[in-house]
Amino acid sequence: MREKRTGIYIRVSTDAQAEEGYSIEAQTEQLEAYCKAKKWENTELYVDGGWSGSNIERPEMKRMLEDAENDRLERCLVYKLDRLSRSQKDVLYIIEDVFIPHGVDFVSVTESLDTGTPMGRAMIGILAAFAQLERENIKMRTRMGMKERVKAGYWMGGGRVPFGYDYDSKQGILVPNEDAEKVRLMYRLYLDGESPQAIADRLGLKYDRLVMNILQRKSNIGIIEYNGEEYRGRHEPIIDRETFNKTAEEISLRSVKRTNHTDYLLSGLLYCGKCGAKMRYQKWGGRGSKIVCYSQQKSKRYLVKDENCPQKKIWADEVERIVIDALFGMKPDPEASAKAAGAKESGPESLSGEIISVLEKRAEELSRRIRRLYKLYAENENELLLESINEYRAELESVHKDIEREKNENAIALKRKKLDDMLTEIKDCWEYMSFSERKAVIRAVINRIVINGDRIDIFTEH
């Protein structure tokens, strides 16, 4: 077990590099003197030079938080609270969600803030309580003001203005615009039996869903909906309530009919290899259904990729049989199995663990070199030093990416091994599974199915 260290965190922005009391050298000198006075001998320096304090996306900050989460730190020391971050939200996150759960005390020298003492912990609690209180007060004031506004019949504001209306900021109400007539026509066409997609095509709208959303908006009859309640608006209705109610009944009737349609095993996974469009099931006489490219179906124009798509129509049961045979014909991936076995859930004794350990040591060495160069640069702003710093930072970023890639490969290998085991178990009980269970298994394994003439390519999630 390695002895826990005192982390000394230093941050300077580009503009503050030479400011008295904020330079890397000045902060380092005072913080190391503080550690010496406290007899904290085992220290680790984290220096983010030239980084803004507006967020915590900084290389040394990330390294420090990672060390904290891996129980390598006993405390974190800063010159001033805003060196950690200028965002109160980020400060509370670092202290409450990272330091405190991992037993890391936080010390701000110039503000006498020390979470290792009862008073320091109380101060953090007070800061958090006030931050939460302010958030809740803002929410409450906003909601109360908005509710009173809506109760008086005024629109909620300029955002999310319903189709067919403009927002008049001076009056605070909705005003019908030139699209209002399109809204009225939507209701007439829908009640005459036209489909939402046919209405969208006629009116130049891209999606059938947009038509359905517009038909169900109560703002069209002068009602404002807010937090589940309805209020009488001051704006002019586009249609009368009788038309709206008749449309709602028709929507309900059509919805019941749609739910009686047969569900399909491969819905949502099928793609055309000729034009790239999605494919769908289509009833084909008494024989069953065929898989058809949406480009050959003009019902939903926005799904058409090529109006002249030459894709052939294939019987759905044949496609399903091929997919199921391929699913259970999948052979275990020996490389994934070997890597999964070697990874031992990313254990440190595995080969993968050794690779990651080597990379992490290289990252630590690069970080130490960067810190030393920053110290030299603070004493003598030499451009060659700055170039070296940038080179090492680029290499450090590359090493971090290699570590992440190795960890991701381990995760993928373990996932594939679990998939192989799952398919072996399911194969014997497939015939006893319900339709919904079979569908769920297919979606857990398969990402997409591409049909290109007589060829069917199956792409898995792993």
DSSP 8-state assignment for residue 53: S
Distance CA 95, CA 97 (A): 6
Alpha carbon 223 to its chain centroid, in Å, reads 34
CA terminus-to-terminus distance, the chain: 37
**H helix or E strand, kind and range, residue 192:** none
**Torsion angle of alpha carbons 338, 341, 346, 352, nearest 10°?**
-40
Choose the catalytic residue: 13, 195, 346, 350.
13
- Strand stretches in 397-454, DSSP E: 446-452
Alpha carbon 88 to its chain centroid, in Å, reads 23
Name the residue type at position 255.
S
Question: Where does residue 307 rank: exposed (0-12), middle (13-18), buried (19+ CB within 10 A)?
Answer: exposed
What angle do helix axes 196-203 and 208-215 make, rounded to 10 degrees? 100
Question: Tokens at residue 86, please?
Answer: 């200028």
Number of helices and strands in the chain (H, E): 14, 15
Q: What is the CA radius of gyration of the chain?
A: 32
Q: Do 173 and 234 contact (CB within 8 A), yes or no?
A: yes
Is 398 an active-site residue? no
DSSP 8-state assignment for residue 93: I
Distance CA 427, CA 449 (A): 20
Distance CA 63, CA 46 (A): 8
Annotated catalytic residues are 13
